[in-house]
Amino acid sequence: MKKFFYFFLFCCSSFTIADINKTPCDWYNTGQTLYKDEKLKDAYTAWLIAYYQACRDNNLMVSKAAQKGLAQLSEELDEKPEIESRLRLIDACGNFTGFIPFWLWCLISLILFGFLCEILILWGTKRIRLLLIFSLAWLLLQVPIIGLYKYNTIKRGIIINSGVELLSGPDKVYSARCRVGCGDQGIITQERDGWCLIHTQSGKGWVNKNFLVQVGCLQ
């Protein structure tokens, strides 16, 4: 029910979904699960995020455990994996499906649209009440469809370098509202000239792509 509530808020606002975040401990446990499943590159990414978040929160126990896991993986892997610019969302919040899967929402929308066309062809404007009901139902159905699409294609960022200036961004024309630091995470809304505009809980600012681990859910 809580997840559905966050989804409803997300349909109304672009950034409330940033509140759904994993803790360093969650990321470390995710890495352990992926390591057991022999998904080594995904485990490396999860532990990397856990390490930087734990450093930010001064959580020595998790940071040391993540560092140990990273060292072990570096030995097992032939080469240190490069963090891709768009990583699959590793169980950070999952794909919201609610009570009906995304593809079924689209199918229902298509069927309703077909009924609308059939009513117009057969009766024209004679059944105006029926036409209005189906039109309203079809329009209301677009809200969760758009929200689901936004949710499933959202991109996040974890800052892995504390050297972020207050005045940063393309041509250094944007002044950040806050000093976003190492371990901060949020939603990426723009990408330009090697910079990403990231919205965190405390504010927003332009961050160099090299200072980010970008996490996104690919369709």
Question: Given this model, what pLDDT does residue 202 score?
Answer: 64
Establish how many alpha carbons lie within 13 A of residue 98's alpha carbon, considering only the half-sphere containing its beta carbon: 18
Quote the pTM value.
0.41
What is the Cα–Cα distance from 90 to 45, expressed in whole angstroms? Answer: 9
- Measured from the Cβ of residue 108, the count of other Cβ atoms closer than 10 Å reads 15
What is the Cα–Cα distance from 126 to 120, expressed in whole angstroms? Answer: 9
CA dihedral 105, 110, 116, 118 (to 10 degrees): -140
Alpha-helical regions (H) of 37-127 = 40-56, 60-76, 102-123
DSSP bridge partners of 167: 175
Question: Given this model, what pLDDT does residue 219 score?
Answer: 34
Q: Which two tokens stand for residue 44?
A: 């490396």
Q: Which residue has the tokens 């961050």?
A: 207
Instruction: Answer whether 43's CB lies under 8 Å from 73's CB.
Output: yes
What is the Cα–Cα distance from 179 to 94, expressed in whole angstroms? Answer: 29
DSSP bridge partners of 158: 185, 213
Question: Given this model, what pLDDT does residue 46 score?
Answer: 78
Instruction: Answer whether 204's CB lies under 8 Å from 186's CB.
Output: yes
Question: Given this model, what pLDDT does residue 174 score?
Answer: 58
Q: What's the average pLDDT block by block, 10 residues per block, for the chain (219 residues)?
A: 40 35 80 84 78 76 84 68 38 41 74 79 75 79 68 71 60 59 75 81 76 61
Q: Which two tokens stand for residue 137?
A: 């139902």
Establish how many alpha carbons lie within 13 A of residue 95's alpha carbon, considering only the half-sphere containing its beta carbon: 14
